[in-house]
Amino acid sequence: MRILQCVGDVDPALGGSVEAARQLSHALGRLGHRPELVTLRQPRAEWAADWLGAVHCAGPAATRYLYSPRFADWIGSHGSEYDAVVVHGLWRYTSVGAWRALRGRDIPYFVFAHGMLDPYFKQAYPWKHAQKKLCWMAAESRVVRDARGVLFTCEEERLRARATFRPYRCRERVVGLGIALPAGDPAVQRKTFLDAYPGLSGTRMVLFLGRIHPKKGCDLLIEAFARVACRDPLLRLVIAGPDECGWQADLVSLASQLGVSARVMFTGPLYGEVKWGALRSAEVLALPSHTENFGITVVEALACGVPVLISNEVNIWREIDADGAGLVAGADMPGAVNLLDRWLNLPPEARCQMRDNARACFAKRFELEHFAREFAACLGAR
Read off the pLDDT of each residue in 14-39 and give the average, rounded to a whole number: 91
User: Residue 382 has what pLDDT?
Assistant: 43
Q: Give the domain ranges of the chain.
A: 2-180+368-380, 186-365
User: Residue 361 has what pLDDT?
Assistant: 97
Read off the pLDDT of each residue in 3-9 and give the average, rounded to a whole number: 96
CA–CA distance, 155 with 347 (Å, rounded to integer): 33
Q: For residue 381, is pLDDT > 60? A: no
CA–CA distance, 315 with 89 (Å, rounded to integer): 17
Domain 2-180+368-380: give its CATH code. Answer: 3.40.50.2000
User: Residue 12 has what pLDDT?
Assistant: 85
Question: Which residues, in sequence order, are CB contacts of 109 under 8 Å at separation 6+?
Answer: 84, 85, 86, 87, 98, 99, 102, 147, 148
Q: For residue 17, is pLDDT > 90? A: no
CA atoms within 13 A on the CB side of 228: 23
For the ranges 13-17, 128-132, 351-355, the maximum mean pLDDT occurs at 351-355
Give CA separation, 222 vs 217, 291, 301, in Å: 9, 18, 20
The residues pairing with 152 across neighbouring beta strands, listed in sequence order, are 174
73-114 residue pLDDT tens: 999 999 999 999 999 999 999 999 999 999 999 999 999 999
Confidence of residue 376 (pLDDT cuts 50, 70, 90): very high
pTM score: 0.84
- Taking residue 355's Cβ as centre, other Cβ atoms within 10 Å add up to 17
225-273 residue pLDDT tens: 999 999 999 999 999 999 988 999 999 999 999 999 999 999 999 999 9
User: Residue 235 has what pLDDT?
Assistant: 98
Give CA separation, 354 vs 204, 237, 260, 281, in Å: 16, 20, 28, 16
187-238 residue pLDDT tens: 999 999 999 999 999 999 999 999 999 999 999 999 999 999 999 999 999 9
Domain 186-365: give its CATH code. Answer: 3.40.50.2000
Q: What is the mean pLDDT of the chain?
A: 95
